[in-house]
Structure 1
Amino acid sequence: MHAAQDQLTFDELGTPLKDTTFVVFDLETTGTRPGTDGITEIGAVKVRGGEVLGEFATLVNPGMPIPPQIVALTGITGAMVYEAPPVEEVLAAFLEFARGAVLVAHNAPFDTGFLRAACLEYGYPWPKPAVVCTVRLARRVLTRQDTPSFRLGALAALFGSQTTPNHRALQDARATVDVLHALFERLGPQGVHSLEELVDYLPEVTPAQRRKRGMAAHLPELPGVYLFRSPSEEVLYVGTTRNLRRRVRQYFTGSESRGRIREMVALAERVDGIECSHALEAQVRELRLLAAHKPAYNRRSKNPRKSWWVALTEEAFPRLSVVRLPKDGALGPFTSQAMAKLAADTLAGAAGLRTCTLRIPATAPSAKPCALAEIGRCKAPCAGLQSVDEYSPSVHGVQSLIDGQDTVPLEAALRQLEELAAAEHFEQAARRRDELAILVRAIGKAHRLTALAAIPELVAASPDGSGGWEFAVIRHGRLASAGVARRGVPPMPVVDALVASAETVTPDAGPLYGAPAEETALLLRWLTRGGVRLVRTAVPWAEPARGVGGWQGWLERASTAAALEQAVS
């Protein structure tokens, strides 16, 4: 009864092993280092359904001497390969012989490593075939009681191979064919009948995982979001994919090796799928579902409001404060409190804002601007201020920078940096440079996100790779609607329908008009990809003309300098 429950349905079988073409091959080499040592012989056997379809065998001139110990092992001498073709000529013929087949080798990483290195050296694209290693397969199928050794000679003797391996490529490949077929015979009772099951079988997978693979049977092969649920309907895990059925099935195979996720799969009783028009919609829905359910087994994006922001306090002598809830005129978002604090300190130092948390009266006596100044321990820029009016230009400069009206504080910070370098305080100058670069990048990101969130409605299209289009309707930094127009379908009626059915978005307070920062950033990355086109927009999409766009060249130079310092340190 249990075996019948575990049996795959016809549509899950994939490619049966008896219908799969395998090219079983072996290499002889001058040593063990791909890219340094050379190939001296290639031998291969093409098989399907137990029938030999062809053989490939040739000596190869490695372009280097063959070490004596290799000659003693293989019997291949320099005289034998003197007139043999070089590997760049042999490689094209072998790749054509193996085209479309699954490669099999005994200790496959060794042999494929040499082939990949040769492809890289001579400009051949590596075809990325499926690869089966008979050593690894034998270790999964056999125990130490079956065989004390997993060497090719020991396995060939165990299975009664008609060919005895002798460290010559074709002879060893023929022996490997017999070993492969004998291992396949032992896989049948374990429920491995297709190529896909064989690939999944090679890593270790528990019976409990394998029994649950039917949980993916109802899912379509379309982009979307999947939710693993516990017996109590609690959402355990949320993920996104371009192919729901294929991705979810991987959780029930050996390809899933994360212990935390295996534990989640053991608890799960059901998988729900939400079909999406395209990958962007799936990614946005994933973010929203993570925020709504906060699944225990997801590690990211559980709280879209977790970003940190830098804002001026409402005091007579304002300072920059790190806050969780953004307000109008705030700078952000920052992914961590530490990054926000660093940006705030850098900006305060450049603009001349106070950094202490003590209250200062509106009219500060010059002798005692605060309690710390009284005892000579105040290092804040506000020390010695006469009035609010004297302090206000610094506040105005900071807010103008955040709003994209000018970059006066950044220019002041750059002058400070140059003064440090001129005084040969190079370590301090490098630290200030890196801090200033972080601030400039944060301001640039804030301007880009704010510019997108300010647009009431924007419609964009991305090629789907098959002659059609993927559409997104974005309102105030949120995805309001998504759809596709496949090849041959008039796109504009689809756009009109998507706009008419799009979600109504009411802007809220704050620099992003209430939009989650992570969703707006995701949409911005999609919009700025190559090939994406704007279909229509309610208002022009533009960043501040006096923002930090002109600092891009300085940022590149700063990044290069930091990378060079890191390389030599």
Structure 2
Amino acid sequence: MSTSRVRVIDLETAGNGANDVCEIGWQDVVVDADGRWTVNDERGALMVNPGRPISPETMAVHHILDEQVANAPYWKEVAPAVLRPSGKIDALAAHRAAFEQRYCTPRLTGGLRWICTWKCALRIWPELPRFSNQMLRYQRMPQGLVHEIGLPAHRAMPDAYVTAHHLRDLLNAASLEQLLAWSAEPGLLPRVPAGPERGKSWERISTETLTGFLNERDADVRFSAQTELARRGELEPPALVEPVQRTLI
């Protein structure tokens, strides 16, 4: 009997090119016999040959060396088996999923929908001060997270494992469809991220100042200001726009 399953993906890259993946990690989150979402033992990582030298900037983050990926298969050889494994997959997930979606294109994923755990964390835990994957780890201390499995940070499998614990708790707090809907929108920031109003919640900002935020380049800031103005009856609610995955090909 099939069960609901979401696969968390994390990538490490050699740079910013279309095929620059040098490692992919995954961790599944499934529904258990009691109907609760849980992190299972289906996890792993594979090295990927990016076809070019790894940049010093990215090497300084993940510490993957060129010689470690020299004999690995290329991205298009590795990706399908991880992104479309045997058995049912309801969605893919990642923390700040837009990054993974640059490489995990619809052609490779079969058009699976994505959950962004960063966007969903903004909704479920707005009181938290920070929302990076590792800050959520230590602010929340998710139950059952084995510290050693989640290390080293900034490697594909450990990061996917940590993200999966956030996803599990998000799925147990809101429905799969709700998380997918939030993930299709820009991020709803709980506070103003920069400028003279930095750190203030949106409801504390004057309508005039909020209107000025509508000209910001940052889509998350614009969306957050629009949402607050709509709450006050000053604007129509922001329209839901399905994100387009960039192929970079």
Q: Normalized against structure 2, the TM-score is what?
A: 0.62
CA distance in 1, matches of 2:81, 2:166: 26
| Among 100, 112, 125, the residue aligned to 1:111 | 100
**Given the superposition, is the C-alpha separation of residues 169 and 182 from structure 1 closer, same or farther in structure 2, using an over 3 Å criterion?**
same
**Given the superposition, is the C-alpha separation of residues 113 and 69 from structure 1 closer, same or farther in structure 2, using an over 3 Å criterion?**
same
For residues 117-156 of structure 1, the aligned pairs below 5 Å read 124=107, 126-143=109-126, 145-146=127-128, 148-156=129-137
CA distance in 2, matches of 1:125, 1:176: 21
Letter in 2 for 1:55: R
SS of alignment partner, residue 23 of structure 2: strand
The answer (yes or no) to whether the contact 1:56–1:94 under 8 Å persists in 2 is no
| Among 80, 85, 92, the residue aligned to 2:73 | 85
The higher radius of gyration belongs to 1
**Given the superposition, is the C-alpha separation of residues 102 and 53 from structure 1 closer, same or farther in structure 2, using an over 3 Å criterion?**
farther
Match of residue 66 from structure 1: 54
CA distance in 1, matches of 2:84, 2:237: 40
CA distance in 1, matches of 2:168, 2:14: 30
CA distance in 2, matches of 1:181, 1:125: 25
Match of residue 95 from structure 1: 83
Letter in 2 for 1:149: R
Letter in 1 for 2:158: Q
The answer (yes or no) to whether the contact 1:41–1:58 under 8 Å persists in 2 is yes
Match of residue 189 from structure 2: none
CA distance in 1, matches of 2:109, 2:132: 28
CA distance in 1, matches of 2:157, 2:104: 16
Match of residue 30 from structure 2: 48
The answer (yes or no) to whether the contact 1:40–1:59 under 8 Å persists in 2 is yes
Q: Normalized against structure 1, the TM-score is what?
A: 0.29
**Given the superposition, is the C-alpha separation of residues 157 and 26 from structure 1 closer, same or farther in structure 2, using an over 3 Å criterion?**
same
CA distance in 2, matches of 1:126, 1:177: 19
| Among 38, 46, 61, the residue aligned to 2:20 | 38
Unaligned runs of 5+ in 2: 32-37, 187-226, 239-249
SS of alignment partner, residue 47 of structure 1: strand
Residues 521-558 of structure 1: CA distance to partner in whole angstroms, max 9, x if unpaired?
xxxxxxxxxxxxxxxxxxxxxxxxxxxxxxxxxxxxxx
Percent identity, aligned pairs only, is: 29
Residues 20-63 of structure 1: CA distance to partner in whole angstroms, max 9, x if unpaired?
311011000012x352x600000001220214152231000100
The answer (yes or no) to whether the contact 2:59–2:65 under 8 Å persists in 1 is yes
The answer (yes or no) to whether the contact 1:30–1:67 under 8 Å persists in 2 is yes
The answer (yes or no) to whether the contact 2:84–2:109 under 8 Å persists in 1 is no
**Given the superposition, is the C-alpha separation of residues 171 and 51 from structure 1 closer, same or farther in structure 2, using an over 3 Å criterion?**
closer
Query: Does residue 195 of the first structure (1) align with residue 176 of the second (2)?
Result: yes
CA distance in 2, matches of 1:125, 1:70: 24
CA distance in 2, matches of 1:167, 1:48: 24
The answer (yes or no) to whether the contact 1:104–1:134 under 8 Å persists in 2 is yes
| Among 159, 172, 176, the residue aligned to 2:140 | 159
SS of alignment partner, residue 97 of structure 1: coil
Match of residue 351 from structure 1: none
| Among 162, 170, 182, the residue aligned to 1:183 | 170
**Given the superposition, is the C-alpha separation of residues 74 and 92 from structure 1 closer, same or farther in structure 2, using an over 3 Å criterion?**
same
Structure 1 residue 92 displacement after superposition: 2.4
The answer (yes or no) to whether the contact 2:48–2:78 under 8 Å persists in 1 is yes
Residues 463-491 of structure 1: CA distance to partner in whole angstroms, max 9, x if unpaired?
xxxxxxxxxxxxxxxxxxxxxxxxxxxxx
Residues 215-259 of structure 1: CA distance to partner in whole angstroms, max 9, x if unpaired?
xxxxxxxxxxxxxxxxxxxxxxxxxxxxxxxxxxxxxxx9xx9x9
CA distance in 2, matches of 1:130, 1:106: 14
Residues 393-413 of structure 1: CA distance to partner in whole angstroms, max 9, x if unpaired?
xxxxxxxxxxxxxxxxxxxxx
CA distance in 1, matches of 2:55, 2:71: 18
For residues 181-330 of structure 1, the aligned pairs below 5 Å read 181-185=168-172, 187=173, 192=174, 194-202=175-183, 203=185
Match of residue 343 from structure 1: none
CA distance in 1, matches of 2:237, 2:53: 50
Please identify which structure carries the higher helix content. Answer: 1
**Given the superposition, is the C-alpha separation of residues 80 and 139 from structure 1 closer, same or farther in structure 2, using an over 3 Å criterion?**
same
Residues 421-479 of structure 1: CA distance to partner in whole angstroms, max 9, x if unpaired?
xxxxxxxxxxxxxxxxxxxxxxxxxxxxxxxxxxxxxxxxxxxxxxxxxxxxxxxxxxx
Letter in 2 for 1:106: H
SS of alignment partner, residue 131 of structure 2: coil
Letter in 2 for 1:58: L
Query: Does residue 20 of the first structure (1) align with residue 4 of the second (2)?
Result: yes
Q: Alpha carbon RMSD of aligned pairs, Å?
A: 2.8
- Count of matched residue pairs: 177
